[in-house]
């Protein structure tokens, strides 16, 4: 049961591929699949497209004319929101951390090209800022709709409830299975959606969410954010076998350097997948999560003989803003 309205923005189902070269790194002891949500189609794609289909569905049903959201300067979420608004004919206000740079690059450049109104917030990074902006726009007789950081509430997470069903069908059609799914988890919407979707669709795969930001998002830890969404989801979706709070965990220890800090680990992951398979990762999210998967396989933390899956969540444009490090 899904009481949510959807506004179509992307190309689905996204491809599910097997990687044939990468397993040689592990003496061919694993089969490795990749789910290509870097190809969701919305202005270079990414995992926020699935969430935005439901968030904009809700916004359009309420008859709003303006979307407000927030994030880091290289936010993939903000860039995809800007594209979604352009498509839906809504105006878009982005509240970004830090000060205005001399030159825009990566996702920030794309957000500007996509017509978003960009506000640089300095050090402020609080949910209240979104409310303040909404009040300001209402005084100008606009009808604003707030999308939280990362699009992570139950409405946004519905995109990944649905995606769990999409993956189950693809695996079934190919006659394949996966024992573990690695992915980058940050504001928790994707993780919560997958947990709810796997419970609904009875998909028995172990989630391996790799924590990207030890600080959490806007003052809320990843764990709290996921738990809040599954609590509400268990009720609203009337799931027969509800997701337990004890099912909520994340793999930490790969986030020690801090959010957005590129280390030799992300760099190694980006080079490995690019050079062996011709697939690009990003320096902030997927580079970190993919490194965690490589490390788990190298250390045989996953039983040899398993089929593992990496859920690519996008983020390609951020590579350009790290040219100073990656391009050396
Ligand atoms: C936002 C994002 C994530 C994390 O998804 P959440 O739902 O916020 O946990 C992972 N990878 C990329 C590339 C992202 O932009």
State yes or no: pLDDT of 127 exceeds 80.
no
Contact residues of ligand 1, CB 6 A cut-off: 46-48, 76-77, 150, 152, 184-191, 282, 285-286, 313-315
- What gap in Å lies between CA 196 and CA 145, rounded to an integer? 25
Distance of CA 10 from the midpoint of ligand 1 (Å): 16
Q: Please determine, for residue 99, whether its predicted confidence score (pLDDT) is greater than 80.
A: yes
In angstroms, rounded to a whole number, what is the distance separating the alpha carbons of residues 256 and 273? 22
User: How far apart are alpha carbons 149 and 25 in whole angstroms?
Assistant: 37
Å from CA of 141 to ligand 1 middle = 33
pLDDT digits (tens, 9 = 90+) for 44-64: 999 999 999 999 999 999 999
The share of the chain scoring above pLDDT 90, in percent, equals 94
The pair of three-digit structure tokens given for residue 19, joined into one six-digit string = 């990687």
pLDDT of residue 104 exceeding 90, the answer is: yes
Chain centroid offset of residue 328 CA? 28
Closest Cα partner for 85 from 126, 125, 43, 121? 43
């Amino acid at each position: 049961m899904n009481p949510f309205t959807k506004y179509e923005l992307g190309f689905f189902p996204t491809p599910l591929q097997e990687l044939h070269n990468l397993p040689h790194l592990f003496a061919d002891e694993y089969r490795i699949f990749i789910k290509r949500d870097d190809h969701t189609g919305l202005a270079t794609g990414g995992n926020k497209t699935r969430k935005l289909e439901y968030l904009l569905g809700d916004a359009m049903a309420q008859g709003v004319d303006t979307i407000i959201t927030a994030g880091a300067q290289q936010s993939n979420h903000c860039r995809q929101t800007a594209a979604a608004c352009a498509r839906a004919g809504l105006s878009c206000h982005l509240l970004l951390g830090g000060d205005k740079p001399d030159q825009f690059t990566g996702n920030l450049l794309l957000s500007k090209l996509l017509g978003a109104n960009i506000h640089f917030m300095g050090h402020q990074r609080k949910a209240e800022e979104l409310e303040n902006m909404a009040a300001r726009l209402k005084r100008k007789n606009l009808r604003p709709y707030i999308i939280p950081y990362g699009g992570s509430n139950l409405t946004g997470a519905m995109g990944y409830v649905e995606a769990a069903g999409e993956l189950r069908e693809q695996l079934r059609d190919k006659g394949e299975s996966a024992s573990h799914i690695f992915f980058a988890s940050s504001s928790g919407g994707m993780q919560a959606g997958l947990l709810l979707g796997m419970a609904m669709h009875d998909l028995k795969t172990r989630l391996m969410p790799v924590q990207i930001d030890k600080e959490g998002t806007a003052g809320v830890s990843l764990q709290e954010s996921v738990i809040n969404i599954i609590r509400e989801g268990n009720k609203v979706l009337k799931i027969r076998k509800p997701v337990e709070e004890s099912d909520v965990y994340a793999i930490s220890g790969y986030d020690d350097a801090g959010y957005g800090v590129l280390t030799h680990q992300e760099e190694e992951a980006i080079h490995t997948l690019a050079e062996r398979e011709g697939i690009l990762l990003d320096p902030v999210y997927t580079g970190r999560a993919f490194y965690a998967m490589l490390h788990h396989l190298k250390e045989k933390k996953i039983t040899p003989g398993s089929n593992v899956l990496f859920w690519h969540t996008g983020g390609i444009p951020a590579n350009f803003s790290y040219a100073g490090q990656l391009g050396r």
